[in-house]
Amino acid sequence: MPIKPDSAVTMEPYGEYEADCPAHLAVDLFGNRWLPVIVYTLREGPLRPVDLQRAIGGISQKMLTQTLRRMQRMGLLERRGYAEAPPRVEYELTRAGRDLLVPIDALGAWADRHGNTVRTALYGHDEDD
Question: Over 50: is that where the pLDDT of 3 sits?
Answer: no
Task: Give buried/exposed letters for 37-51 (b at 16+ CB in 10 A, else e).
Answer: bbbbbbeeebbeeee
Q: Is residue 32 part of a domain?
A: yes
pLDDT digits (tens, 9 = 90+) for 76-102: 999 999 988 888 999 999 999 999 999
- 16 or 30: whose pLDDT is higher? 30
Domains in the chain, number: 1
Q: Is residue 76 part of a domain?
A: yes
Which phi and psi (to 5°) does residue 9 adopt?
-105, 135
Closest CA to 72 of 83, 60, 59, 81: 81
What residue numbers bound the domain in which 64 lies?
18-123
Closest CA to 101 of 53, 61, 23, 45: 45
Q: Which amino acid is at 11?
A: M
Q: Is 72 helix (H, G, I), strand (E, B) or coil?
A: helix
- Identify whether 86 is preceded by a cis peptide bond (ω within 30 of 0): yes
- Output the average pLDDT for the chain: 87
Average pLDDT over residues 41-57: 97
41-45, 58-62, 80-84: range with lowest mean pLDDT: 80-84
Query: pLDDT confidence of 1, banded at 50, 70, 90?
Result: very low
Question: Over 80: is that where the pLDDT of 116 sits?
Answer: yes
Query: pLDDT confidence of 52, banded at 50, 70, 90?
Result: very high
Q: Is residue 2 part of a domain?
A: no
Average pLDDT over residues 37-56: 97
Closest CA to 30 of 123, 108, 90: 108
Closest CA to 97 of 33, 40, 25: 40
The distance of Cα 124 from the centroid of its chain, to the nearest Å, equals 29
Q: Is residue 128 part of a domain?
A: no
CATH number at residue 83: 1.10.10.10
Percent of the chain with pLDDT over 70: 82
Q: Is residue 85 part of a domain?
A: yes
Query: pLDDT confidence of 6, banded at 50, 70, 90?
Result: low
